């Protein structure tokens, strides 16, 4: 439920309505419209629709990751409550499942529990940010009997969940799109209860430039290599990047192992997989910790619209949209939240769920400044990048039946190497590409014609010539 600014701000205590200079809100991203191409060449899609998290002022990136030399303790630093009034949630604060929906869910629960352990009857509580972490926290606080207001910068809820109508049976998920069996079971059960369907992606087809690789042998080779990288990282007293740990292994052979990849190809596939999970390049990722944080369960794709789950969580809760918080003022017995509109409100406690990128960019000022512990967490964690592209054909121009496709990275090769084949999942002739790190940023910066060219070039190994 959305609430009028009048209702919410009129409910604020008198002293809280401050006279403020107008602030410029950060740039939100418009709804990406599909780009339609003339169907001259059958290998060119009818339309594509891409995300732009790289240029999104209320996300400032896609994920959080541990760069070389940092430890998971920095996530606890970021999450440390301040003055028993200000609590932190969001995927970046999750030790167990960072950079994921599950991390957002788990952190929202944790922050709500921390707050509820201290809140007294009748207190006014705010949750800043209406992504999954904020929606979970708000639901938990509301269900405990408190008045809770959600303050959201965008004119929509969901944050890095971005479900838009697609032309086929399933909506397009421009942000998070799949969950992992095992790690994400609590969330998968909640989605099922909410009627949001997910479909398993059981088979992956892996192609190198010149041949198809056996999926089972490839998965085993990549797992073995991940073990070797972890062992190489554990052998040294200092942390090193994943690329550095790979370089410490004996020179990687280029001879394929049976029907599977060569060790060099396995290394390229491992760094790509880590990139998709973290949004980071191997040269930046901590070898010591990023392999531990790596999810391994089978993927389940959302085909029912993740947005619906967020809407259900927020049902009956007041959400003030288009209201970026620009400052958090800590008073002795309250918190002042200043909005980009020039308005403000006073609450007893708040949960802050804005993305790490927003905190790092100084999009919110803290008065007085945050304690050193929180600032250390914000400074130490790094922001990763992911982008998705939904590619629609009038009919399938591929014969591949596996649900997931993967391309071995090569120098100057395909930019988009991770694909989901919705034809195999829902019957729609739709392919979904996911990019990470520097390549995600590069793709986000392309014009529409260039982006379509990249899509077609990247898909070439799978499309009928």
Ligand X SMILES: Cc1cc2nc3c(=O)[nH]c(=O)nc-3n(C[C@H](O)[C@H](O)[C@H](O)COP(=O)(O)OP(=O)(O)OC[C@H]3O[C@@H](n4cnc5c(N)ncnc54)[C@H](O)[C@@H]3O)c2cc1C
Positions in 175-194 near ligand X (CB under 6 A): 175-179
d(CA 233, CA 291): 10
Q: What angle do CA 271, 223, 174 make, to 5 degrees?
A: 50
CB of 98 to ligand X, least distance (A): 8
Residue placing its CB nearer to ligand X in the complex, 241 or 433: 433
User: By CB under 6 A, what part of segment 229-248 binds ligand X?
Assistant: none
> How far, in Å, CA of 131 to CA of 162, rounded?
10
Closer CB to ligand X, 228 or 299, in the complex:
299
Helix (H) or strand (E) segment spanning residue 106? helix 101-116
CB of 208 to ligand X, least distance (A): 25
Whose CA is closest to 132, among 167, 90, 93, 170?
90
Between 142 and 154, name the residue whose CB sits nearer to ligand X: 154
The least distance separating ligand X from the CB of residue 7, rounded to whole angstroms, comes to 18
The 10 Å CB-count burial string (b at 16+, else e) for 130-152 is bbbbbbbbbbbbbeeebbbbbbb
Binding mask 81-120 for ligand X (x = CB under 6 A): ---------xx-------xxx-xx----------------
Neighbouring C-alpha atoms within 13 Å toward the C-beta of 312 = 12
Two structure tokens written together for 357: 């990128």
Please give the C-alpha separations between residue 304 and each of 163, 173, 190, 294, 353, in angstroms, as whole numbers: 9, 10, 13, 26, 25
Query: Is the Cβ of residue 205 or residue 436 nearer to ligand X in the bound state?
Result: 436
Residues 406-465 that bind ligand X (CB under 6 A): none
Q: Closest approach of Cβ 363 to ligand X, in Å?
A: 5
Tell me how many residues contact ligand X (CB under 6 A). Answer: 43
CA dihedral 160, 108, 285, 262 (to 10 degrees): -70
Alpha helices per DSSP H over 202-262: 215-235, 242-248
What residues pair up with 206 in beta bridges, in sequence order? 213, 406
The smaller minimum CB distance to ligand X, of residues 193 and 212, is found at 193
For residues 18 and 43, which CB has a smaller minimum distance to ligand X in the complex?
18
How are beta strands 404-407 and 204-207 bridged, if at all? parallel
Contacts of 114 (CB under 8 A, 6+ apart): 81, 87
Residue carrying the six token digits 């499309």: 463
Q: Two tokens at 24?
A: 């410029």
Instruction: State which of positions 119-158 bind ligand X (CB under 6 A).
Output: 128-134, 151-154
Binding to ligand X (CB under 6 A): which residues in 313-352?
A: 324-325
Residue 81 or 244 having the CB closest to ligand X: 81
The least CB distance from residue 328 to ligand X, in Å, is 10
Binding pattern to ligand X, positions 38-77, x when CB under 6 A?
-------------x-x----xx--xx--------------
Decide: helix, strand or coil at residue 208. coil
- DSSP letter for 241, please: B
Three-state secondary structure call for residue 421: strand
**C-beta closer to ligand X: residue 105 or 392:** 105
Cβ neighbours around 1 below 10 Å, total? 10
Nearer to ligand X, 264 or 442 (CB): 442
Contact stretch for ligand X (CB under 6 A) within 41-49, 357-365, 394-402, 455-463: 357-365
In angstroms, what is the minimal distance from the CB of 416 to ligand X? 13
Q: Shortest distance, CB of residue 157 to ligand X, whole angstroms?
A: 7
Is the Cβ of residue 290 or residue 388 nearer to ligand X in the bound state? 388
The minimum distance between CB 385 and ligand X, in angstroms, equals 8
Dump the DSSP string for 106-167: HHHHHHHHHHHTT--TT-EEEEE--SHHHHHHHHHHHHTT-EEEEE-SSSSS-TT--EE--S
160 belongs to the binding site for ligand X (CB under 6 A): yes
Among 79, 267, 364, 415, binds ligand X (CB under 6 A): 364
> Which spans of this chain sit near ligand X (rule: CB under 6 A)?
51, 53, 58-59, 62-63, 90-91, 99-101, 103-104, 128-134, 151-154, 159-161, 175-179, 324-325, 353-355, 358, 363-364, 386-388
């Amino acid at each position: 439920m959305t609430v009028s600014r009048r209702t919410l701000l009129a409910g604020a205590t008198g002293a809280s309505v401050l006279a403020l200079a107008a602030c410029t809100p950060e740039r939100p991203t418009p709804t990406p419209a599909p780009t339609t191409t003339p169907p001259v060449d059958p290998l060119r899609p009818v339309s594509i629709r891409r995300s732009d998290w790289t240029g999104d002022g209320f996300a400032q990136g896609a994920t959080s990751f541990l760069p070389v030399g940092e430890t998971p303790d920095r996530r606890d630093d970021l999450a440390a409550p301040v003055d028993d009034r200000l609590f932190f949630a969001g995927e970046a604060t999750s030790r167990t499942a960072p950079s994921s929906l599950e991390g957002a869910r788990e952190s929202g629960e944790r922050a709500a529990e921390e707050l509820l352990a201290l809140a007294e009857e009748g207190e006014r509580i705010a949750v800043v940010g209406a992504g999954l972490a904020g929606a979970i926290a708000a639901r938990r606080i509301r269900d405990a009997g408190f008045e809770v207001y959600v303050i959201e910068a965008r004119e929509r809820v969901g944050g890095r969940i971005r479900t838009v109508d697609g032309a086929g049976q399933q909506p397009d998920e421009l942000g998070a799109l799949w969950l992992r069996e095992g790690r994400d079971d609590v969330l998968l059960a909640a989605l099922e209860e909410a009627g949001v369907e997910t479909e398993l992606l059981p088979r992956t087809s892996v192609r190198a430039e010149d041949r198809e690789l056996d999926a089972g042998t490839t998965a085993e080779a990549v797992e073995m290599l991940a073990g070797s990288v972890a062992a190489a990282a554990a052998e040294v007293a200092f942390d090193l990047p994943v690329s550095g740990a790979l370089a410490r292994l004996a020179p990687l052979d280029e001879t394929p192992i049976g029907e599977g990849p060569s060790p060099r190809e396995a290394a390229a596939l491992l760094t790509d997989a880590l990139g998709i999970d973290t949004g980071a390049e191997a040269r930046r990722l901590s070898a010591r910790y990023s392999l531990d944080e790596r999810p391994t369960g089978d993927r389940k794709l959302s085909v029912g619209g993740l947005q619906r789950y967020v809407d259900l969580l927020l049902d009956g809760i007041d959400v003030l949209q288009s209201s970026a918080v620009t400052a958090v003022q800590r008073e002795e017995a309250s918190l002042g939240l200043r909005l980009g509109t020039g308005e403000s409100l006073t609450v007893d406690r708040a949960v802050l769920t804005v993305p790490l990128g927003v905190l790092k960019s100084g999009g919110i000022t803290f008065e007085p400044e945050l304690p050193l512990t929180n600032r250390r967490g914000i400074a130490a964690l790094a922001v990763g990048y992911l982008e998705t592209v939904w590619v629609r054909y009038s009919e399938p121009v591929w014969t591949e039946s596996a649900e997931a496709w993967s391309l071995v990275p090569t120098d100057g090769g395909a930019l988009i190497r991770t694909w989901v084949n919705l034809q195999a999942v829902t019957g729609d002739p739709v392919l979904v590409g996911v990019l990470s790190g520097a390549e995600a940023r590069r793709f986000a910066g392309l014009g529409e014609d260039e982006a379509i060219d990249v899509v077609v070039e990247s898909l070439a190994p799978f499309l009928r010539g």
